[in-house]
Structure 1
Amino acid sequence: MKKLLLLFLSVTASYVVNAQIVTPQPSPFSKVEQKVGLTDVTLEYSRPNMRDRKIFGDLVPYGKLWRLGANANTKITFSTDVKVGDYDLKAGTYAIYATPNETSWNVVFYSDTTNWGIPQKWDDSKVMAMLNVDVYPLPMSIETFTMTFDDLTSGSAILGILWEKTYVGIKIEVPTDNMVLANINYVMNGTPTANDYYAAAVYYLQEEKDIKQAKTWMDKAISMAGDKVGFWQLRQQSLIYAKAGDKKGAIEIAKKSLAASEKAGNADYVKMNKEALKEWGAM
Structure 2
Amino acid sequence: MTNVTSVLEFKLLGFSSNPCCQILLFTVFLVIYTFTILGNIMIISVVTLEPQLHSPMYRFLKNLSFLEICYTTTVVPKMLANLLAKRKSISFSGCMAQLYYFVSLGATECYLLAAMAYDRFLAVCEPLHYAVAMTPETYRRLAVGSWVSGVLTGFLPCQMVSRLNFCSYNLIDHFFCDISPLLKLSCSDTTVTEAVIFILSLLVLSSCFLFTLLSYIFIILSILKIPSASGKRMTFSTCSSHLMVVTMYYGTMISMYVRPVHNLSSQLNKAVSVLYTVVTPLLNPVIYSMRNKGFKKALEKILLRHHRLHYL
> Normalising by structure 2, what TM-score?
0.22
Larger fraction in helix: 2
Larger fraction in strand: 1
Q: Which has the higher contact order (CA 8 A, sep 6+)?
A: 2
> Normalising by structure 1, what TM-score?
0.24
